[in-house]
Structure 1
Amino acid sequence: MELAQVRLLVTDFSACYHFYAEVLGLKPQSGAVEGPYEKFSPATGSAGIALQDRSMMARFLGGTGELGELGESGELVEPATGHRSLVVLRVDDLDAYCAQITERGGTIAHGPTPLTDRMRVAHLKDPEGNLVELQEWLLLRG
């Protein structure tokens, strides 16, 4: 297992993008100023910080109150009451790792499921309710 990133779930994506890129001087991966996702890399080290639009994660996980409630067209209509960060861990075999977690008494809240054509994910919470995303990368960037 390897730490892939710490992801911040944000409401004002553009403002946060400019903060991490311009104020902190981190290098954005794609230049997606309006989101819904961007990864920033420090000058050294492999793990980075990522921003993800809170409404995107709410849609993905079903519009839970902790991430905000969604309107009929998928917009965020109620503010989030909880999650602001997401620890992301990369594993080689998501199904096997999820099975190990449940054998150890853990509960998978969502997944395993495809997130994109390049990765599958599963989500669970730690005892304090913090979100953890497990990723299995199917295709690596070339």
Structure 2
Amino acid sequence: MELAKSHLDIGLFTNNREKMLAFWQGKVGLAFDHLGKLGGGVHQLRHFLGDGPAGPILKINDSRNPLPAAPPSGYRELLIAREEVSVPQTLVDPDGNRLALVPPGYCGVGGIGMRMGVRSLAAFEDFYGRILGLPKVPVADGPVFACDDSVILAFHDSDASGDAVQFAQGYRYLTVQIFDADHEYETVLQRGGSGGMAPKTLGATVRYGFIRDPDGNWIELSQRATLTGSIASSKGATGENG
């Protein structure tokens, strides 16, 4: 993948806006970026996980409508590297999402990481290594892949869902910022990966689509104008293609 930003973004959904903001801003110390309206009664409250707008973003998607009951996705624990931390500190937000503040270098984490529970470690390695083309990080704590300055870790969980729900409470998707959403989406399909939503354009802001990993976890491919300079489709589309 040709990355437009050297970090992953993390997306979660909640019906618990005020308590979640108090936790992530007050307890964890994240700075608020801005609010975006996604439609359907969902407000996205973007927070810096480090390095400002060019760094990783936590997207707290507050839904006006009640979110459905659903099993957790494979995204189980957000890891955030902090210079002042000498040993991992585990925290749990008001919705039950786990995060750990860790010393830099812990399990290969230099910026942020996402620990995943997966049904098959072999399938995880094939998808993130061969299909997405991410380099493997040589650490002892299970398979770890690097998306530039962010890492994705995995442990085996035989009870993990094989069809992760996208719109439900909790960590629900990762975002990879790339230069060409259409090209990257088609490349994943050609290598045997699964599509979740073909790329479409949102206003003059972003062209984005979703792919899914072997357990059905959602990954957004985002071609954002502020990072790429253009959201033109490599297929020649100029508007939303649905």
* TM-score, with structure 1 as normaliser: 0.70
In the aligned structure 2, how far is the partner of 1:39 from the partner of 1:11?
Answer: 16
1:121 corresponds to which residue?
Answer: 208
Please say if 1:101 is aligned against 2:188. Answer: yes
Question: Percent of aligned positions with the same letter in both sequences?
Answer: 19
Residues 8, 52 of structure 1: 8 Å contact kept: yes
- Larger radius of gyration, structure 1 or 2? 2
Please give the per-residue CA displacement for 1:25-75, whole angstroms capped at 9, x wherever unaligned.
Answer: 11101278xx7111211454711322112x48xxxxxxxxxxxxxxxxxx3
Structural RMSD (CA): 2.5
- What SS does the corresponding residue of 1:30 show, helix, strand or coil? strand
- Structural mapping, 1:39-118, within 5 Å: 39-42=46-49, 44=51, 46-53=55-62, 55=63, 75-76=65-66, 78-83=68-73, 84-85=170-171, 86-118=173-205
* TM-score, with structure 2 as normaliser: 0.43
CA offset at residue 90 of structure 1? 0.7
> Pick from 20, 29, 52: which aligns with 1:16?
20
Unaligned 5+ residue runs, structure 1? 57-74
Unaligned 5+ residue runs, structure 2? 37-41, 74-169, 228-242
Q: Identify the range of structure 1 (36-45 vs 95-104) with the bigger mean alpha-carbon deviation.
A: 36-45
Residues 13, 36 of structure 1: 8 Å contact kept: no
In the aligned structure 2, how far is the partner of 1:43 from the partner of 1:97?
Answer: 26
- What SS does the corresponding residue of 1:134 show, helix, strand or coil? strand
- What SS does the corresponding residue of 1:18 show, helix, strand or coil? helix
